[in-house]
Amino acid sequence: MALTNKYQRIPLDSIIIERDSRQRREVEVDEEFLRTIKVRGVIQPIIVEKTSDGFLLIAGERRVAHSRAAGLPDIPARFASDLAPIERKLLEFEENAKRLDLPWKDRASAIWDIHHTHLELDAGWTQESTAESIGLSSGYVSTAIAVADALRAGDASIVEAGGIRAAYNILARKQERKQDDTMNDLLASVPVKPSPAHGVKSPGQVTATEARIAQPRLTHEETSILYSSFLEWAPAYSGQPFNLIHCDFPYGIGIDKSDQAKSANWDEQYDDSDEVFWELCRCLAENLDRLMSPFAHLFFWTSSDLRRQNEVLQFFQLHAPSLDFCPVPYIWHKTDNRGILPDPKRGGRRVYETALMASRGDRLVVKSVSNAYGAPTSKEIHQSEKPEPMLRHYFQMLVDEDTRLLDPTCGSGTALRAAESLGASYVLGLERNPGYVEGARIALRKFRLKRSAAK
């Protein structure tokens, strides 16, 4: 069925717009186009269908909206009758979907509607056929349909995307991460032999054998935060590997001996010696295959001293070459301006900390975020506590519903709570100071109860 060749001027107030069925959800007035309408009027007729109540708009809503804004009494219109649903959609698409001002979600939905309407009429219809029928590339049409499927499913990350291409990139990353995790699960079935325990047992502290777990249950904080030394636990671990390891080792800069750190005010202190730092690094590197999945991420906090960062990169390049480190650090800026001032005569106060991120198996991120985040310091449980909002910001890159997080020195447990808030399926923290263990477990229990109550 084709459009008639005749057209006439019809009153603007007689035009009916069925908003719920329109591809374009809203029309913003373009001042330049409005000036053109006022001077020259509407040259290209709109498309309408005559009904008992007036004229049902099929295509040309932008011209109608601007004519009304210009105060015009009528508009030229051509008529269509007995149009099939696909013809209505195609007419409106040709009018609207190629315009830059059409919101990207409406554009994707329009392409989806057209494609599936064709499918209802012809089971052999393809995405290439849709692309040809509306004059767009098959790649763009395929992308738009995939994005529209995700929008219809209510995928929050897609809804918040900035455009069709950005949304599709998120989908592609999710799919590749899913494939990585499937491979991780397959490879996790291959047993890793334990190596001899490392380190000396502290009084009252469980050994790695005693703390060993396979699949801890998320509902019990005592199995999510173990009272154990990473140095003893790691060599004997035989459970499923982790696809995200968050390391916040003592930096090895003697902060525990610093007057500015006020370590004496804390009942529970930790050893921040250079020896402890490198011992923890060696333990991580030596046990990387048993702890870390083949496709995984490492988020590693270290001193902002460039010399120390270079030493860390060189160490892991030599002892854990499967880790591919990003050359640019991630920064936590302490917005309350708190930090160590090593030498007031020769330098400034250090009010930021840095993390190095590495991927294993070229694992993709969930989404990109800025590599700097400002947040005040927090010392509710631990004297060197990473604020949860800051960790949540960076974990948006790394955490999804398939995430298994390990924090070898979890301190106050903020990383565990940040990961769970983003949907991580499993979190495990280790801590060797009993006071920190108790505080972290209480905080995690409160966090989980609050989340449960909010559901």
Mean pLDDT of the chain, nearest integer: 82
- Give the pLDDT of residue 133: 76
Domain check: are 377 and 419 in the same one? yes
User: Is 196 inside any structural domain?
Assistant: no
Q: List pLDDT tens digits, range 40-85.
A: 888 778 888 888 888 888 778 888 989 999 999 999 888 876 556 6
What end-to-end distance do the CA atoms of the chain give, in Å? 52
Average pLDDT over residues 273-285: 94
- Give the pLDDT of residue 392: 97
Residues in the chain: 455
- Give the pLDDT of residue 246: 98
- Give the pLDDT of residue 328: 95
User: Is 199 inside any structural domain?
Assistant: no
Taking CA 196 as the corner, what is the angle to CA 195 and CA 199, rounded to the nearest 5 degrees? 125
Q: Kindly report the CATH number assigned to the domain that includes residue 313.
A: 3.40.50.150
Q: Kindly report the CATH number assigned to the domain that includes residue 9.
A: 3.90.1530.10
User: Is 123 inside any structural domain?
Assistant: yes
Token code pair at residue 300 = 């590693």
Domain check: are 361 and 251 in the same one? yes
**Which of 97, 132, 160 corresponds to the end of one domain?**
97
Q: Are 112 and 148 contacting, i.e. CB atoms less than 8 angstroms apart?
A: yes
| pLDDT > 90 in the chain, percent | 39
User: Is 80 inside any structural domain?
Assistant: yes
User: How many C-beta atoms lie closer than 10 Å to residue 441's C-beta?
Assistant: 19
Domain check: are 24 and 67 in the same one? yes
Domain check: are 161 and 248 in the same one? no
Domain check: are 270 and 171 in the same one? no
Domain check: are 345 and 272 in the same one? yes
The SS3 of residue 194 is coil
Rounded to an integer, what distance in angstroms lies between the CA atom of residue 138 and that of residue 210? Answer: 58
Is the predicted pLDDT of residue 261 greater than 80, yes or no? Answer: no
Domain check: are 38 and 62 in the same one? yes
**Which of 138, 166, 190 corresponds to the end of one domain?**
190
Domain of 170 in residue numbering reads as 103-190
pLDDT greater at residue 35 or residue 93: 35
- Give the pLDDT of residue 134: 74
Cβ-count burial of 140 within 10 angstroms (0-12 exposed, 13-18 middle, 19+ buried)? middle
Closest by CA to 333, choosing from 309, 316, 310, 349, is: 349
Rounded to an integer, what distance in angstroms lies between the CA atom of residue 385 and that of residue 221? Answer: 19
CA distances from 205 to 196, 202, 230, 407 (A): 18, 5, 12, 18
User: Is 153 inside any structural domain?
Assistant: yes
pTM of the predicted model over 0.85: no
Average pLDDT over residues 225-251: 94
User: Is 392 inside any structural domain?
Assistant: yes
Domain check: are 306 and 328 in the same one? yes
Helix 104-121 vs helix 164-188: angle between axes, to the nearest 10 degrees?
Answer: 70
If one counts the domains in the chain, the total is 3
Cβ neighbours of residue 284 closer than 8 Å, sequence gap 6 or more: 234, 245, 247, 291, 320, 408
User: Is 195 inside any structural domain?
Assistant: no
Helix 61-69 vs helix 85-96: angle between axes, to the nearest 10 degrees?
Answer: 60
**Per-residue confidence band for 220, with pLDDT thresholds at 50, 70 and 90:** low
Domain check: are 148 and 248 in the same one? no
**Which of 190, 216, 235 corresponds to the end of one domain?**
190
User: Is 121 inside any structural domain?
Assistant: yes
Rounded to an integer, what distance in angstroms lies between the CA atom of residue 76 and that of residue 371? Answer: 54
Average pLDDT over residues 86-115: 72
The residue assigned the tokens 């960062």 is 309
Domain check: are 295 and 394 in the same one? yes
Domain check: are 131 and 45 in the same one? no
Domain check: are 438 and 351 in the same one? yes
The highest-confidence range among 21-35, 159-173, 341-355, by mean pLDDT, is: 159-173
